[in-house]
């Protein structure tokens, strides 16, 4: 039996009663028919639709120029349909997301127009957006654990916070730290009428500008301002519109640049660690349209809390670094005495990392009968404790050497000193006694890297010394070795920070040292010291002591005459 064809009335009923919003347009893109679902979705009456092109209707503020261009060039002209293209608009002040489908209608090869459908997908689009935002927030938190606090440097840590947050959660981030906290001032002595800040990091997505700002003159926020009181109580400040920002009790010099930048929403959160407010981080948006919501606030607070701990660690380690360097330098010799038979040059360079300041030392000690002792040592461990132990070892060495004790006995006594500090303490030491009359040099090592000798002809040699126990590991023995130092020889004594690199054999470091000693400017020992440090340890991970001694024929002659 033949299937009857649908009548025009039935087709019209199918079109009009479809729950899917449908509209028919002619080849000139004018609306000819729109069903009830379309009128309800668009909020337009039939009179506002029929006979009008999409760009002539009030609509939902979608990009009607784009719609018409696609209909004309793709659907009508080429016959290529549009399937589920996303269109965004506004309905009654709320975001509306629609899936648009359009296809060409023909009869006997003649193009009649197009049929378009709209499906409201706002809820699913918002759910997808929320899921993406949640995943993005989770990703930021996961990255924060590895990307914030990679160093013990306050500037670097604040910059890492800004770099992580832009553009993921903010278009602009500024990190300002409290001046009294950074300067270790007594909070009670601070001006009770103001808070003084220094800007440490700023990152703005609009200019791609990032930088650290060590402000010589800190900017001031009066205590009477609302944010100042909030900061002191460790609370955060949120403004979700320019109007709310304008209502903040902030000095114009602070809030006006943000408004000029187009910022429309911000979060200012105190950076608090161990009960101390270190400063504030301000996250703001300008090009990103959405204001901060509660999930954003929670994320920003979490990032700020993590960053604050690392900033405080960096601050405390920097303070310890400065104290250790001060103690270390105070315990090292201020002036090296002039001794017969030798020209002396030396350098001490603190480590570039706060935790690595330790107990490296050197000394030059005039002895009886024109002899001189050269000493270089290194206490294991780092910080103030290592520096204090170093001072004790240096004092003991100088006292015993001036009493005429031989180097093996001195090493044994130093080992007992180290042992008194417990099993975790240790040290190495290289002790050289040079006699300018005989040109003999007696070398004794207690687990220390070997010295390197530059001969008068420019060739170099790593001196092979008998192995001696590390100080604190036992009572010896500490055997010695005697070598001859002709006039013009340069003996290099140093600590391991000059030659060691992670994952590298010490032989490679010794080879580099020998090359640097051979190729450096021998006319000036000071220039040679600088050249070796620049080439071998420009940014040392451990502190470095370097002592260079060159034999001189004139002084050697005086040494012979004195002996006779």
What are the DSSP calls for 105-119, one per residue? EEETTEEEEEEEEEE
Share above pLDDT 70 across residues of the chain, in percent, rounded to a whole number? 84
What is the rounded average pLDDT for all residues in the chain? 83
pLDDT at 377 over 50: yes
Q: Model confidence over 343-372: pLDDT tens digits?
A: 999 998 877 654 455 678 889 999 998 899
pLDDT at 561: 34
pLDDT at 322: 66
pLDDT at 209: 52
pLDDT at 283 over 50: yes
Q: What would the two tokens of residue 386 be? A: 């290592």
Distance CA 301, CA 298 (A): 5
Running DSSP on this structure, what letter comes out for residue 80?
Answer: P
pLDDT at 110 over 90: yes
Q: What would the two tokens of residue 222 be? A: 């009066």
H or E element, residue 227: helix 226-232
Higher pLDDT: 410 or 521? It is 410
pLDDT at 423: 72
Q: Report the pLDDT averaged over residues 190-197.
A: 64
pLDDT at 212: 41
Q: Report the pLDDT averaged over residues 481-508.
A: 91
Q: Model confidence over 172-188: pLDDT tens digits?
A: 998 888 877 776 654 44
Rg (CA), the chain: 39
Q: Report the pLDDT averaged over residues 1-22.
A: 77
Q: Report the pLDDT averaged over residues 119-141.
A: 81
Cα–Cα nearest to 483, from 558, 553, 433, 518: 433
CB atoms within 10 A of CB 69: 11
Higher pLDDT: 501 or 486? It is 486
Higher pLDDT: 85 or 275? It is 85
Long-range contacts (CB closer than 8 Å, 24 or more residues apart) made by 333-340: 333/362, 333/363, 333/364, 336/364, 337/364, 337/366, 339/364, 339/366, 339/372, 339/555, 340/370, 340/372, 340/436, 340/555, 340/556, 340/558, 340/559, 340/562
CB atoms within 10 A of CB 167: 14
Among 28-32, 298-302, 395-399, 540-544, the minimum mean pLDDT is found in: 540-544
| Total-model pTM | 0.55
Residue 446 and residue 467 in contact, taking contact as beta carbons nearer than 8 Å? no
Go through 477-505 and write b for each residue having 16 or more CB atoms within 10 A of its CB, e for each that does not.
ebebeebebeeebbbbbbbbbbbbeeeee
Distance CA 92, CA 94 (A): 6
């Amino acid at each position: 039996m033949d299937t009857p064809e649908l009548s025009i009335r039935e087709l019209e009923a199918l079109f009009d009663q479809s729950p899917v919003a449908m509209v028919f347009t002619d080849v000139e893109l004018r609306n000819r028919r729109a069903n009830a679902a379309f009128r309800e979705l668009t909020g337009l009456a039939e009179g506002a639709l029929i006979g009008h092109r999409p760009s002539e209707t009030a609509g939902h503020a979608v990009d009607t120029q784009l719609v018409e261009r696609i209909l004309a060039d793709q659907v009508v002209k080429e016959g290529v349909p549009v399937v589920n293209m996303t269109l965004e608009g506004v309905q009654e002040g709320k975001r509306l997301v629609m899936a648009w489908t359009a296809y060409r209608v023909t009869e006997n090869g003649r193009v009649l127009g197009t049929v378009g459908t709209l499906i409201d997908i706002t809820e699913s689009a918002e759910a997808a957006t929320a899921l993406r935002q949640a995943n993005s927030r989770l990703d930021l938190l996961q990255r924060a654990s590895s990307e914030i606090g990679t160093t013990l440097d306050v500037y670097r840590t604040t910059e890492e916070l800004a770099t992580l947050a832009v553009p993921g959660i903010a278009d602009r981030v500024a990190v300002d730290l409290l001046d009294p906290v950074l300067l270790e001032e007594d909070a009670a002595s601070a001006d009770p009428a103001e808070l003084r800040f220094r800007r440490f990091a700023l990152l703005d997505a609009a200019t791609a500008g990032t930088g650290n700002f060590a402000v010589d003159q800190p900017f001031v926020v009066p205590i009477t301002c609302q944010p100042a009181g909030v900061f002191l109580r460790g609370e955060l400040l949120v403004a979700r519109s320019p109007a709310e920002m304008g209502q903040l009790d902030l000095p114009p010099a602070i809030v006006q640049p943000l408004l000029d930048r187009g910022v429309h929403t911000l979060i200012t959160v105190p950076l608090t660690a161990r009960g101390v407010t270190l400063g504030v981080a301000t996250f703001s948006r300008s090009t990103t349209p959405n204001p901060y919501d509660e999930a954003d606030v929670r994320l920003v607070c979490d990032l700020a809390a993590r960053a604050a701990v690392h900033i405080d660690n960096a601050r405390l380690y920097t303070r310890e670094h400065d104290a250790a360097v001060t103690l270390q330098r105070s315990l090292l010799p201020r002036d090296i005495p002039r001794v017969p038979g030798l020209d002396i040059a030396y350098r001490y360079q603190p480590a570039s990392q706060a935790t690595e300041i330790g107990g490296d030392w050197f000394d030059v000690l005039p002895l009886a009968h024109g002899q001189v002792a050269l000493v270089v040592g290194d206490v294991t461990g780092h910080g103030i404790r290592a520096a204090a132990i170093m001072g004790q070892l240096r004092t003991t060495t100088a006292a015993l050497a001036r009493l005429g004790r031989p180097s093996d006995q001195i090493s044994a006594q130093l080992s007992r000193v180290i042992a008194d500090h417990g099993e975790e303490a240790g040290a190495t030491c290289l002790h050289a006694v040079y006699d300018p009359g005989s040109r003999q040099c007696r070398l004794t090592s207690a687990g220390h890297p070997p010295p390197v000798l530059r001969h008068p002809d420019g060739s170099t040699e790593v001196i092979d010394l008998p192995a001696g126990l590390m100080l604190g590991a036992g009572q010896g023995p500490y055997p010695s070795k005697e070598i001859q130092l002709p006039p013009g020889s340069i003996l290099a004594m140093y600590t391991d920070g000059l030659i060691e690199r992670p994952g590298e054999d010490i032989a490679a470091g010794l080879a580099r040292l020998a090359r640097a000693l051979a190729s450096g400017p021998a006319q000036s020992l000071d220039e040679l010291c600088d050249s070796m440090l620049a080439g071998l340890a420009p940014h040392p991970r451990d502190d470095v002591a370097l002592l260079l001694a060159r034999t001189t024929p004139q002084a050697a002659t005086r040494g012979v005459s004195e002996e006779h």
